[in-house]
Structure 1
Amino acid sequence: MSTQQWNDWHEAHERRRADKHGFLAVTGLYWLGPDPQRIPDAPGTWTTGPDGVVVELDGGESLVVDGTTVTGRYAFGPIEERKEIKAGWGDAVIEVARRGGYDIVRPRHPDSPILKKYNGTPAYAPSDAWVLDGRFVPSDPPRQVTVGAAVEGLEHVYESPGRVEFEVNGTPLALTVFNGIAAGTFQALFTDETSGVTTYAANRNLNIGPPDADGHVVLDFNRATNLPCAYTEFATCPLPPAENRLPIAVEAGEQYPPNP
């Protein structure tokens, strides 16, 4: 790993984070129920129930869903857990999602105060010392793991295909992993002895590529990143499983945001 490669990766990560409709653009988090509610920074009156999320748009109000302009009553239908639909509204995007078993709405505006003041996230200098070999140990069958969330009282349930074992300076360690976005990849949520000191206290995220035929994986802690809850109160991020609280200082990856 070269410093330039890490710089290119982190610059791309920062660009995605600071996208005009990215997570820093969220201006509110609204929990839907059967009672109709108007939402600041979004059009319409919103409800949810057994058949999913419904919005009633007043005269002159509209949304763009999948490239089609909709008016009046629009049913989004049931949304799968950890999935979302993003509807256009002028220069904004209205995120309709399901988190922890609840339907939510989060408007995303390019002029969000959080996005406007964002100047980037500091990180430890990349080091080959934090590029570690590991071994994936599968669970048979995969386990359902319940974890807490950045929102008090909320829980998330993830499928864990197993754990990744590794060593740091002769100390054997392991991380319970969840399935990553791409098939065969993993996601590890963790804290360590830098948490709350130089890094965000609640959680950090490490993406891990697929194992080879012998179960070998690479853990590049230089690419440990903050989750959205490090930047905004409008996040529902999961917390790490208790066993992922590492008893070492992982002095690698992203540090505390400048304006948490």
Structure 2
Amino acid sequence: MTELDDAAAARERWVRSPRGPLALVNAQRVDQPQVVWPVPGQWAPATGGLTVTAGAEDGVVVDGVPVDGTVLVAGDDAVVASVVAFPDGRAGTVAATGGGHTLRVWDPAADAITRFARIDRFPASDGFVTTGRFVPVSDHAAPGHVLDAAGEPLVVAGTVTTSIGGQTAELVAVRSAPYRGTQRLQLIVQDGTSALPESDPGSAYSMGRFLFLDDPGVAAEVELDWNRLVLPPCAFSYQYACPIPPPSNRMSAPIAAGERHPLDIDGAVFH
């Protein structure tokens, strides 16, 4: 098994996992006291996260302590984020979004996990490994940002210039979360394969895909292995907002590499 095979297997384990995208059954912004489907409790906005009001009979547990009254659930912008457990194995986390907070509900027995079969991929090819030049944002210029579909800013780290399919592109790179202790860059791209599967059987996910690179931290040559293009979480669940590729990252050249679509047990594309 190659290293790419290992990475592909790890991706499929992740999408099926209890915190993978298939398990996200609701992502509800809480900006006033309200209930949140499909979990118990009354939820309300609070400084640092949300509060939940529940009785002992509701079976809500926050950070290992059963709730009987009103408790703060710290968001992921706190020093230590809270984890919520609900009956039937569901769990909750609180995400900071747009100046407020969203309750995310995860269900390890979600229907989507049962329906999911595999991630369809293009065959790997050395022809889709290119080199590029990373140039960081100038220390004297504002870094700027790219907005995702929910309006959340993604901080621009710099640009990567590369040639692929006879096209030269200067791609905007945003900062990504570290991976195994290594700082990373993220390219959010569309290409000539980005189309609805009904209109093009050789397509990849229409909203675009992600390519992650190690961040050299300075201007440097980088390798772009397009076989490592991956689907965004929104390809698996409508509960996610898809980051929108910047105009410069929308390429006409087809990149027939990497992940294409998630497929269900009948061989159909999820959505």
Provide TM-score, normalisation by structure 2.
0.84
SS of the equivalent of 2:40 reads coil
Which of 233, 236, 249 matches 1:228? 233
Q: Which residue in the other structure is 1:186 paired with?
A: 185
Q: Which residue in the other structure is 2:253 paired with?
A: 248
Q: How does 1:94-105 map to 2 (within 5 A)?
A: 94-105=92-103
Matched, 1:176 2:172: yes
Partner deviation per Cα, 1:66-123 (whole Å, 9 max, x = no partner): 4444442111246439x96432224121121123434111211122111110001100
* Contact 2:40-2:58 within 8 A present in 1 as well: yes
SS of the equivalent of 2:192 reads coil
Compared CA separation, residues 69 and 132, structure 1 to 2 (3 A): farther
Q: Which residue in the other structure is 1:87 paired with?
A: 84
Report the Cα offset of residue 173 of structure 1: 1.3
- Gaps of at least 5 residues in structure 1 are none
* Contact 2:162-2:168 within 8 A present in 1 as well: yes
Q: Which residue in the other structure is 2:159 paired with?
A: 163
Q: Which residue in the other structure is 1:47 paired with?
A: 44
Report the Cα offset of residue 49 of structure 1: 4.2
Question: Aligned partners of 1:252 and 1:33: how far apart in 2?
Answer: 41
Which of 187, 193, 205 matches 2:210? 205
Partner deviation per Cα, 1:108-160 (whole Å, 9 max, x = no partner): 112211111000110001111111111101111352213241xxxx3121211
SS of the equivalent of 2:3 reads helix
Paired positions, count: 252
* Contact 2:135-2:219 within 8 A present in 1 as well: no
Compared CA separation, residues 131 and 66, structure 1 to 2 (3 A): farther
Compared CA separation, residues 21 and 50, structure 1 to 2 (3 A): closer
Q: Percent identity over the alignment? A: 26
Which of 30, 33, 50 matches 1:32? 30
* Contact 1:221-1:252 within 8 A present in 2 as well: yes
Matched, 1:116 2:98: no
State the AA in 2 paired with 1:52: G
Q: Which residue in the other structure is 1:215 paired with?
A: 220
* Contact 1:148-1:239 within 8 A present in 2 as well: yes
Compared CA separation, residues 111 and 126, structure 1 to 2 (3 A): same
Question: Aligned partners of 1:67 and 1:52: how far apart in 2?
Answer: 17
Which of 85, 104, 107 matches 1:106? 104
